[in-house]
Amino acid sequence: MASSPDVPSVGNTPENPGNNSPSAASAASGSSEAPLAAEPAADERRGRVRARRAAVMAVPATLVAAGLAVLTAQGALGVQFAISGMPFAVTATDLNGTGFEQFGALDNMADGSPNAGDTGGQELVVTSAIKKATLDHLCQSVDLGGTNLMITAGGGADKVQASALTTDSTELSGNAEFNNIEIGNDASTLTKAGVKGPIGVFSQQADTVHIANLRQTNYATTAGVFKLPGLKLRFSDSGC
């Protein structure tokens, strides 16, 4: 899940105090008229969006320090669709993967989404990627307001299998073990899962990952192949 560069807003560029500038003319004429102030609401919204973009670079570092790990991550340079803005839970008793990568990113909602709130339609996420993964007792649920849409799979002898599996997460927990982990890479140089993140963004990668008792809050998931043996979809009073 990559951020877009800030675009300066009209009227926010300071005037050059040259001979022909309005500021210079006012000073020369001795005018005491004060410049019009920018609307506080617009400035605050822009500030929040910029702060989210800046925070992308530090997200995975906190996860490493806490000993937590994410399930998977988004493909290529980010999710290629507008997210709904409705988070969904994902759990699994065991995840085993080969080719693991992780970095910070921003997901964007559709213009005018009712779920945007005061975020500017953006969600700061941890993007992770696994080249090949197997999962035991996978559960996914989304709260629809009073009821939950739930999907379960891989509860029998056959496990859930995925290739090029990716997710964008805001919360995660579990007991993780990595093999040959590298921490502090530039996200644009990652090689383990075939995904490259934005240049200048903190990241990590490992040859293999094992996570027991995985739990995530996600905003997006993509996969090249996703095999779900024993798939069941139903409505439930409670989520995963």
For the segment 142-175, what is each residue's pLDDT rounded down to a tens digit?
A: 999 989 999 999 999 999 999 999 999 999 999 9
Q: How far is CA 141 from CA 36, 47, 89, 138, 236, in A?
A: 50, 33, 5, 10, 9
Give the range among 55-59, 116-120, 126-130, 217-221 with minimum mean pLDDT: 55-59
Q: Is the pLDDT of residue 178 over 50?
A: yes
Q: Is the pLDDT of residue 83 over 70?
A: yes
E-strand stretches of 16-76: none
Indicate the helix (H) or strand (E) that contains 202: strand 202-222
Q: Mean pLDDT over all residues of the chain?
A: 79
pTM above 0.85, yes or no: no
Residues paired with residue 140 on neighbouring β-strands, in sequence order: 90, 151
Task: Give exposure, 123-148, as e/b (b: 16+ Cβ within 10 Å).
Answer: bbbbbbbbbbbbbbbbbbbbeeeeeb
Pairing status of strand 138-143 against strand 148-153? antiparallel
Average pLDDT over residues 8-25: 45
pLDDT at 81: 86
pLDDT at 54: 53
Give the range among 4-8, 48-52, 131-135, 172-176 with minimum mean pLDDT: 4-8
Quickly list H helices, 56-146: 59-66
Closest CA to 173 of 91, 57, 77, 111: 91
44: confidence class by pLDDT, cuts 50, 70, 90: low
Q: How far apart are CA 210 and CA 191, in angstroms?
A: 19
CA 199 to chain centre: 16
Q: How far is CA 212 from CA 14, 71, 96, 173, in A?
A: 54, 10, 9, 9
